[in-house]
């Protein structure tokens, strides 16, 4: 296993981090199960995966309060306790559930109990965006973080992020964050924080943790025929997972890459790939192959949204780029279950396409001249319950 420094923390972190949102589930069949407390983790299979990962050098485990309906933290607490000093645990404050300042203490206390530990190595504010960051500031989350850093209940503070790069930079500059966690892969190079945000955070000494390097498996499962032909045309043969992970690791600003592994086969393959996870090693020809695959995927877009976010903020709170992204993904990656779950269970009522008031203010700012209200109707018709 190779290791990189995690920003200014000085911690040596395995280049492959274990994302703990997608453990194998007893009887699980869809993405919705990952947040269903009635669908238990297959602890025998998951324990074997964790043991194999640790034996092969993985030392960073990332979980969060809602994963597996709250079971992910409990499971990790049970099986990481014997080797607690060998591993780094990251978990997240559920910002959307916080109603008052007292909730900061309540959730942290509950998470420490679940994880059976007296400290959390990396405590992140979960899923920050423009609205949730404003709420956290109003409740003085910075003062809370300073307190729990001082008393040792957390070692480092960070945040995970889902919004545009402008607010990302604002958040980075607002505090001495140890780490940030962003979505990044070859298809999402300019989505949300994107490449600009990655480089900005790294330049500040903030450790950058990458989530969704495989887009929840979309870049590796059910590959369209035309995409597989492009991979096969390369003189350098790699699996789709190897192409995607290697592309992310090729960035020197990346500290570790999380993979939400659901089977032992995935753990074994990802650890094998991580053995060559060095920055700046992909050749120009290899990068061109990846760029060609990305372009082919983009040619499959149903709505020509580039994710520039000029259309937001919407007066009614609709997250237009995210709605279009979910809609496009449902066609490109043939994973309607995941996009159905995200639209119906992760977006707030205000963020959904159905909240569009058809004021058309957004159309005035769209460089692609998309008929946004009309397309939002299609999104809701396809993805709503």
pLDDT tens by residue, 17-32: 999 999 998 876 555 5
Is-contact 9 207, C-beta < 8 A? Answer: yes
pLDDT the model gives residue 367 = 67
Alpha-carbon distance of 150 to 211, in angstroms, equals: 28
Does residue 35 carry a pLDDT above 80? no
What pLDDT does residue 221 have? 80
- Name, in order, each residue with C-beta under 8 angstroms of 70's C-beta and a sequence gap of 6 or more: 37, 114
**Mean pLDDT to the nearest integer, 369-374:** 93
Lowest mean pLDDT among 28-32, 52-56, 148-152, 231-235: 28-32
Give the DSSP H/E element, type plus range, for residue 380: helix 372-383
- Pair of tokens at residue 5: 């420094």
- pLDDT band (50, 70, 90) for residue 217: confident
pLDDT at residue number 31: 55
The residues with which 257 forms a beta bridge, in sequence order, are: 16, 210
User: pTM score, two decimals?
Assistant: 0.84
Instruction: Give the start-to-end residue ranges of the domains of the chain.
Output: 3-282, 320-383
How many Cβ atoms from other residues are within 10 Å of residue 32's Cβ? Answer: 16
Report the DSSP beta bridge partners of residue 18: 61, 259
State pLDDT tens for residues 122-140.
999 999 988 899 999 999 9
pLDDT digits (tens, 9 = 90+) for 322-340: 899 889 888 877 666 777 8
How far is 186 from 278, CA to CA, in rounded Å?
16
What is the CB-side half-sphere exposure of residue 378 using CA atoms within 13 A? 15
Q: Average pLDDT of 167-174?
A: 97
Kindly state the average pLDDT of the residues 247-262: 96
User: For the stretch 191-220, what's the b/e string if a residue is b when 16 or more beta carbons lie within 10 angstroms of its beta carbon?
Assistant: bbbbeebbebbbeeebbbbbbbbbbbbbbb
**Domain boundaries 3-282, corresponding CATH code:** 3.20.20.100
Residue closest to 294 by CA, chosen among 243, 366, 238: 243
pLDDT score of 351 more than 70: yes
Range 151-175 average pLDDT: 96
Are 37 and 206 within 8 A, CB to CB? Answer: no
Phi, psi for 35 (deg, rounded to 5):
-120, 10
Lowest mean pLDDT among 231-240, 253-262, 301-310: 301-310
- Residue 224: the pLDDT is 86
Q: Which tokens in the block code for residue 17?
A: 């981090």
Could you tell me which residue, 321 or 51, shows the higher pLDDT? 51
DSSP code, position 237: -
- Of 61, 346, 298, which is closest to residue 188 (Cα–Cα)? 298
Mean pLDDT confidence for 188-212:
95
Distance CA 336, CA 342 (A): 10
| Residue 67 scores a pLDDT above 70 | yes
Assigned token pair, 89: 């645990």
**pLDDT attached to residue 216:** 78
HSE (CB half, 13 Å, CA atoms) of 196? 11
Question: Contact, 77 vs 114, CB < 8 A?
Answer: yes
Residue of 334, 303, 332 lying closest to 320 (CA atoms): 303
Report the pLDDT value the prediction gives residue 34, as an integer from 0 to 100.
62
Helix 141-150, helix 101-115: angle, nearest 10:
40
Instruction: For residues 214 and 185, give the distance between their C-alpha atoms in angstroms, rounded to a whole number.
Output: 7
pLDDT greater than 80 at residue 308: no
């Amino acid at each position: 296993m190779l290791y990189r420094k995690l920003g200014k923390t000085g911690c040596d972190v395995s280049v492959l981090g274990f994302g703990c949102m997608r453990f194998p589930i007893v009887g699980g069949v869809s993405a919705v199960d990952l947040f269903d407390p009635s669908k238990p983790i297959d602890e025998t299979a998951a324990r074997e995966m964790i043991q194999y990962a640790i034996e092969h050098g993985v030392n960073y485990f990332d979980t969060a309060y809602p994963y597996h309906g709250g079971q992910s933290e409990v499971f990790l607490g049970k099986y990481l306790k014997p080797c607690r000093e060998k591993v780094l645990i990251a978990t997240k404050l559920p910002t959307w559930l916080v109603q008052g300042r007292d909730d900061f203490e309540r959730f942290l206390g509950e998470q420490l109990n679940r994880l059976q530990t007296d400290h959390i190595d990396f405590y992140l504010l979960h899923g920050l965006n423009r609205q949730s960051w404003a709420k956290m500031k109003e409740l003085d989350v910075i003062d809370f973080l300073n307190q729990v850093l001082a008393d040792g209940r957390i070692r480092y503070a960070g945040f995970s992020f889902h919004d545009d790069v402008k607010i990302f930079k604002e958040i980075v500059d607002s505090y001495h964050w140890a780490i940030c966690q962003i979505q990044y892969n070859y298809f999402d190079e300019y989505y949300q924080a994107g490449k600009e945000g990655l480089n900005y955070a790294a330049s500040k000494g903030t450790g950058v943790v990458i989530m969704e390097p495989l887009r929840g498996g979309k870049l590796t499962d059910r590959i369209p025929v035309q995409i597989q032909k492009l991979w096969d045309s390369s003189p350098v043969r790699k699996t789709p997972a190897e192409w995607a992970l290697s592309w992310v690791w090729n960035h020197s600003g990346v500290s570790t890459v999380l993979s939400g592994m659901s089977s032992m086969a995935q753990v074994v393959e990802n650890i094998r790939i991580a053995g060559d996870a060095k920055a700046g090693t992909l050749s120009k020809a290899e990068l061109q192959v990846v760029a060609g695959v990305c372009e082919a995927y983009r040619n499959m877009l149903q709505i020509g949204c580039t994710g520039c976010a000029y259309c937001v903020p919407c007066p009614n709170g609709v997250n237009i780029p995210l709605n279009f992204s979910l809609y496009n993904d449902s066609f490109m990656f043939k994973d309607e279950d995941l996009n159905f779950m995200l639209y119906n269970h992760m977006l707030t009522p205000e963020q959904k396409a159905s909240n569009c008031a058809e004021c058309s203010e957004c159309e005035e700012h769209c460089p692609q001249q998309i008929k946004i209200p009309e397309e939002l109707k299609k999104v809701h018709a396809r993805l709503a319950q």
